[in-house]
Amino acid sequence: MEKVDTTFLEYAADAVVVGAGHAGCEAALALARTGIKTALLTLNLDSIAFLPCNPSIGGTAKGHLVREIDALGGEMGIVADKTALQIRMLNVGKGAAVQSLRAQSDKNAYHREMKRVLENTENLRIIQAEAAEILVENGKCAGVKTTYGGVISCKAVILCTGVYLNGETITGNVVQKSGPNGFAPANHLTESLIKLGFNVRRFKTGTPARLDGRTIDYSKCEIQNGDTDIYPFSFMHDAPPENKMPCYLTYTNLTTHGVIMENLDRSPLYNGVIQSAGPRYCPSIETKVVRFKDKERHQIFLEPEGADTLEVYVQGMSTSMPHDVQRLMYSSVAGLEKADIMRYGYAIEYDCIDTLDVLPSLEFKKVEGVYTAGQINGTSGYEEAAAQGLMAGLNASLKLRGLSPFILRRDEAYIGVLIDDLVTKGTDEPYRMMTSRAEHRICLRQDNADFRLTEKGYACGLVTEERLARYQSRKKKYEELLEKMRTRLPLKDVAPFLQNYGYDKPSGGVSYADMLKRSIPLKDIMAHFNVFHEYSKDVIETAEITVRYEGYLKQGLEMIERAKKLEDKALPEDIDYDSITGLRLEAREKLNRVRPMNLGQAGRISGVNPADVSVLMVWLATR
């Protein structure tokens, strides 16, 4: 290939990040903080770390991702804590494995704080420009060309384009070339990606209306306050953020549903205007009403967009209906009868790639040094994007430093599950992280993310000495507390306490751990015996979970060890699967496409069954 023309060289960097959403911010920070000279391109400086849809961080499984990002040295959790309007722990009535933090964020404050962090990061330059072409020399990334003709030379590029690639917003029959919230779309880069060999397709997502908070009758809604007795997102913070503003809960009703059904022929989702795949687990209100006809109502959460605005986000009523239908829909909901719409809901379609063309390091298989992260990879959600951005940026940094890629296994992190699903199974619709996707979730809790990941982040050069010291201190206190919990108490001290809970008098000494395993609340144990008050809530919780779930954790670790036996059996990169007799035709096609790194990954490919894996095991043994 011809040498790249650098006549109009605007900047010489080691790496370029295209896009400054949540993936782009984490990618740029991971690169710059590990010593890589980085340029961050964004269509608009005002859209850095923008929250175009839900003004929140975390949620079921997503809270796990935020804490893992934080444990690895990322920024999302720190900024989320600093700019939260309220924070809650979801699923508190369920097991520890599925409990997740969720913060209502101040949209503008989040953007400003992340922008401030980026602007003050060494080795990082921010440039407002649109990427038009990825430049390649001899099969390797050589630079990025902007729409103005300027060239930024680099050896690695991380594409974090979000929903901006050929973005189109759709409301009723009105289709406009646009990114989210009226920002300009990126109309030039897709052609370059196709030339590089990417398989490009269209996905869709959507957003609800924003209402004027002064016109909402909150007396007809249920107040949803934040929690206080919980820990924050970031392991660098000692206490949760202050709860400054409440959210509210209301419901749709049969009148709402009637408006939707009567106007279904005007819905772009049902009249053919929208044909791309949308998010299954975050459907529009039209889809929910059609899909769940037996339901008389659906939950609607009214969430403030910020402390400096009256705008209220209507979670649960995402729509692309025409404006007149939206007015009828929203005004039919209790508390919203007289609410003024400040911004109408819309759907947005955008270009993304097929992640079966991407390695577990998130590097493109066909061009060295080109990485992808976030919604360009077919995912939905700020947290999924940020996790990929951190991993792509870190892997690009490791490659530029001549080091091996950093790949998390499914048993090590939700991030590992997320990326493995994308590059092994692919996705035909916007992918959302859920606890049910993680088969080892009992070991992948949000409370122990630092135990699992901080040392790994330090080895990669991203975790600071300060963060490592905080982790080591927390781990030391946890181990100390665990030892105290397992200390046996004299029979005379514990027998009356146990008998108060309906247990027979024990024959010998009993430890605090034994009491926990008998389902006695820890707060009762702490109050009666006046113990453990010197430890922080997060340390106490991790130790308590370790004790209560000891049997399940042991089973989980045994499952992980069995799975690792397949993960440890590496498959050569140059295998010609067509030449292996015994493999079914479909398995050969899928294996040649994905090029799995090991037997474990091969077994997770759609279309490869256990018999095919057995054939590969025999082939490896006789090779």
pLDDT tens digits for 550-596? 988 988 888 888 888 888 899 998 899 999 989 999 999 999 999 99
Written as six digits, the tokens of 11 are 């900047």
Dihedral, 231, 236, 242, 248 alpha carbons, nearest 10: -60
Mean pLDDT, rounded, for 253-273: 96
Residue 32 near residue 120 (C-beta atoms within 8 A) = no
What is the DSSP-derived secondary structure letter of residue 231? -
552 and 577 assigned to the same domain: no
Show which of 346, 365, 391 is a domain's final residue.
346
144 and 56 assigned to the same domain: yes
What are the strands of the beta sheet with 38-42, ordered from one edge? 124-128, 38-42, 15-18, 156-159, 370-372
Mean pLDDT, rounded, for 154-182: 97
The answer to the question of residue 477 being in a domain is no
The answer to the question of residue 482 being in a domain is no
341 and 363 assigned to the same domain: no
Residue keyed to tokens 């340029």 = 39
Written as six digits, the tokens of 126 are 């921010």
Query: How does the average pLDDT of the chain come out, rounded?
Result: 95
- pLDDT tens track for 391-437: 999 999 999 999 999 999 999 999 999 999 999 999 999 999 999 99
User: In this predicted structure, what is the pLDDT of residue 282?
Assistant: 85
Task: Name the residue among 118, 157, 143 with its Cα closest to residue 22.
Answer: 118
User: In this predicted structure, what is the pLDDT of residue 278?
Assistant: 86
User: In this predicted structure, what is the pLDDT of residue 121?
Assistant: 98
CA atoms within 13 A on the CB side of 506: 20
The answer to the question of residue 312 being in a domain is yes
Q: How far apart are CA 564 and CA 560, in angstroms?
A: 6
Written as six digits, the tokens of 82 are 């600093």
Residue 157 near residue 199 (C-beta atoms within 8 A) = no
Q: How far apart are CA 504 and CA 495, in angstroms?
A: 8
Sequence-ordered list of residues with C-beta below 8 angstroms from that of 3, at least 6 positions apart, any chain: 137
143 and 241 assigned to the same domain: no
The answer to the question of residue 588 being in a domain is yes
User: In this predicted structure, what is the pLDDT of residue 491?
Assistant: 86
91 and 165 assigned to the same domain: yes
397 and 409 assigned to the same domain: yes
232 and 316 assigned to the same domain: yes
Q: How far apart are CA 623 and CA 614, in angstroms?
A: 14
The answer to the question of residue 469 being in a domain is no
Residue keyed to tokens 């889809």 = 287
User: In this predicted structure, what is the pLDDT of residue 598?
Assistant: 93
Predicted model pTM: 0.95
**What are the C-alpha distances in Å from 71 to residues 64, 236, 423, 458, 548?**
10, 9, 23, 10, 24
What is the DSSP-derived secondary structure letter of residue 423? I
User: In this predicted structure, what is the pLDDT of residue 279?
Assistant: 84
Report the CATH number at residue 401: 3.50.50.60
Q: How many residues does the chain have?
A: 623
pLDDT cut 70: percent of the chain above it: 100
Q: Above 80 in pLDDT, residue 6?
A: no
Q: How far apart are CA 387 and CA 75, in angstroms?
A: 10
Show which of 346, 371, 392 is a domain's final residue.
346
The answer to the question of residue 2 being in a domain is no
Dihedral, 364, 41, 274, 419 alpha carbons, nearest 10: 40
280 and 137 assigned to the same domain: no
Q: How many domains does the chain have?
A: 4
- pLDDT tens track for 295-348: 999 999 999 999 999 999 999 999 999 999 999 999 999 999 999 999 999 999
Q: Does an H or E element contain 256, and which?
A: helix 254-262
User: In this predicted structure, what is the pLDDT of residue 1?
Assistant: 42
Q: Is the dihedral of CA 532, 535, 537, 541 positive or negative?
A: negative
Contacts 24+ apart (CB under 8 A), 175-182: 175/273, 178/348, 179/43, 179/47, 179/348, 180/50, 180/52, 180/53, 180/207, 180/348, 181/47, 181/50, 181/52, 181/343
34 and 149 assigned to the same domain: yes
Q: How far apart are CA 95 and CA 534, in angstroms?
A: 25
Report the CATH number at residue 543: 1.10.10.1800
- pLDDT tens track for 353-400: 999 999 999 999 999 999 999 999 999 999 999 999 999 999 999 999
96 and 179 assigned to the same domain: yes
Domain with 181 in it: 9-208+350-459
234 and 113 assigned to the same domain: no
Confidence band for 136, pLDDT divided at 50, 70 and 90: very high
Report the CATH number at residue 604: 1.10.150.570
The answer to the question of residue 376 being in a domain is yes
Report the CATH number at residue 293: 2.40.30.260
137 and 226 assigned to the same domain: no
Q: Above 70 in pLDDT, residue 2?
A: no
The angle, 0 to 180 degrees and rounded to 10, between the axes of the packed helices 22-33 and 382-400 is 30
The answer to the question of residue 474 being in a domain is no
11-21 as b/e: b if 16+ CB within 10 A: bebbbbbbbbb
Written as six digits, the tokens of 69 are 């990002």
